[in-house]
Chain A
Amino acid sequence: MTKIHVSATVNGDPVEYLADPRESLLDCLRDHLGLTGSKEGCGTGDCGACSVQLDGVLVCSCLVLGAEAQGKKIETVEGLSRGETLHPLQRKFIEHAALQCGFCTPGILVAAKALLEQNPDPNESEIRFWLAGNLCRCTGYDKIIRAVQDAAAEMRGAA
C-alpha cells in the first residue's frame, strides 16, 4: 500500500512522516515520531488517553488518520511544559496526587488545558463533563478535579 507523505507541526516543531493510510495520528505520533506520551487505551475514542489538540481543537488522536494531519498544528503532552517550566496543570497534578498509575494523565492534562483555554473558571460540574471522555481507573477523579480547579485558580491569578 502506498504511504502518504505528511508535513505537520508538532509542539511547534516541523515534522514529516510517511503514513500508511490506515494508520491513526496516534500511531504516527508514537511509532513514526517517537512521541509516546500520548497513550492508546482503547483505540475507539472511549478513553481519551490519546488526547491531543489538532489546530487547537481537542480530539482523540486514535480517531484521526495520520494522513489527515497534513498542514496541521498538533499539540501533545510533550509540548505542555516550556523548557524546565512545567505547565501549572502539570505541577498541580503532582502536588494534589492527581495521578496514581499515570497512564491516563497525559490525555487528561491535554484535555484540561483545552478546557482552561476556553473557560478559565470552570465549576466542578463543567470540569467533570468536559473530562467525561477521559477515563481514569485509579483515582475516582476526585483529586483530578481538585488539581484542575487549583491550576485554573493559579492561572487566573497569574493572568
Chain B
Amino acid sequence: MRYHTPKSFDEAAAIAAKADGKTRFLAGGTDVLVQLRAGMVTPDDLIDIKHIAGVSDIARTADGGWRIGVAVSGAELGRHAALCADWPGVIEGMNLVGSTQVQGRATLVGNLCNGSPAADSVPGLIAAGATVTVTGPKGSREVAVEAIPTGPGKTVLAAGEVISAVTLPARGTGGGDAYLRFIPRTEMDIAVVGAAVNLRVVGGRITEARVALGAVAPTVILVPEAAAAIIGTDLNDAALAALTAAAEAAAKPISDKRGTAAFRKEVVGVLARRAALIAFARAKGEAK
C-alpha cells in the first residue's frame, strides 16, 4: 500500500487516475481504516487529502450558503454556531455518526462516499438540497448529493474523481430542517431507519419541503410524495398522516441483522412525522 499526501485536488485526482489497483481517498479514515483492518479493502494507493489547502475551512458562499471543506470533522461542524443555526438538521445528522472519538475525525464526504444507505449525514444533506463539487481529470462539476450514491457501497464517482467540497444553499427566511434516526441503543449504532425533513414556512403554511429517508432502500432516497403531503399545509394531523403514509409507501427496506423490513417500514413513517414537527417548530423559530 502506498500512502500519498497530495497538495491539491488536481494532484489527488491525477494520482487516482494513474493508479491501476485499488484506490481510496483518506479524510477522517473512520470507514477506510475499519475496512483496511478487517481485510475488506486493502488499497494499493491511499490518498490522504488532508494536506490540501482549504479542506478544513467552513466559509459563507456569495449567495449566503455554506461551502464546507472535505476534511472538516463532525465535531468542527457541531462547534460552528452560524452553520448550526442555519442547518441544524444537517449538522445533527452528521453529529450522530459514531462516538465522540469518531466525531473528531469523521467527515460529511466520507460518510457520503462510503455509500451506505444508512449514512446518518446524507438524508439531511439531500433534504437541504446540498451539492458536492466533483474534481476529476477533466476538471470539476457540481453534483446533487442524492445523485452520488448508486447502491450499497457504490457511488457515481469514476476512477480519478474526488469530491473537493460540499455546498449548502442559503437558508433564507422561514426555513427549518431536522434529522432523526432510529437505533436500538442511544449511541454507537448504525441507523436502522433515518428521516430528514427540510421545509420553509410562510404565514404558518409550508411552502417548500424536501423529505429524505435512510436505510429503507439501496440508497438514501429523496421522496417527493412525502414532501407533497405537507406542502401547502400547516402540518395538521391530516398532513402528518399523509406524510407518514407517503414515507411508508416509499420505503422498500430489507430485513437484516439490524432490523426487519416490517419494522423499518413502520418506523420510517414515525420518524418522518417526528422530524417534520421538529423542522416545522424550527422554521417558526419555536425550537433550536
- Give the B-binding residues of A (Cβ under 8 A): 1-2, 4, 21-22, 24, 43-46, 48, 51, 54, 57-60, 62-65, 67-68, 111, 114-115, 129-134
Q: Which residues of B contact A54 (CB under 8 A)?
A: 104
B29/A64 in contact, CB under 8 A: yes
For the complex, would chain A's binding face be called helix, strand, loop or mixed by DSSP majority? mixed
- Docked pose: A68 CA to B48 CA in angstroms: 8
CB <8 Å contact, A24 and B104 = no
Alpha-carbon distance between A129 and B103 when the two chains are bound, in angstroms:
12
Q: For residues 131 through 175 of chain B, which have their beta carbon under 8 Å from a beta carbon of chain A?
A: none
Whether the Cβ atoms of B2 and A21 lie closer than 8 Å is yes
A131 to B36, CA, bound (A): 25
Task: State whether the Cβ of B75 lies closer than 8 Å to any Cβ in chain A.
Answer: yes
Indicate if the CB atoms of B187 and A60 lie closer than 8 Å.
Answer: no
Q: How far is the CB of A98 from chain B (nearest CB, A)?
A: 18
Q: Cβ of A64 and Cβ of B186 under 8 Å apart?
A: no
- Given A2, A45, A68, which contacts B102 in the complex, CB threshold below 8 Å? A45
**Does B102 contact A129, Cβ atoms closer than 8 Å?**
no
6 further A-B pairs in the complex, CB-CB below 8 A; given A4-B3, A111-B101: A57-B105, A59-B104, A59-B105, A65-B48, A68-B50, A132-B186
Q: Are A44 and B34 in contact (CB under 8 A)?
A: yes
CB-CB nearest in chain B for A52: B101
Q: Mark B96-118, 1 if CB is under 8 A from A, else 0.
A: 00111110110000000000000
Q: In the assembled complex, which residues on chain B have CB atoms less than 8 Å from the CB atom of A114?
A: 100
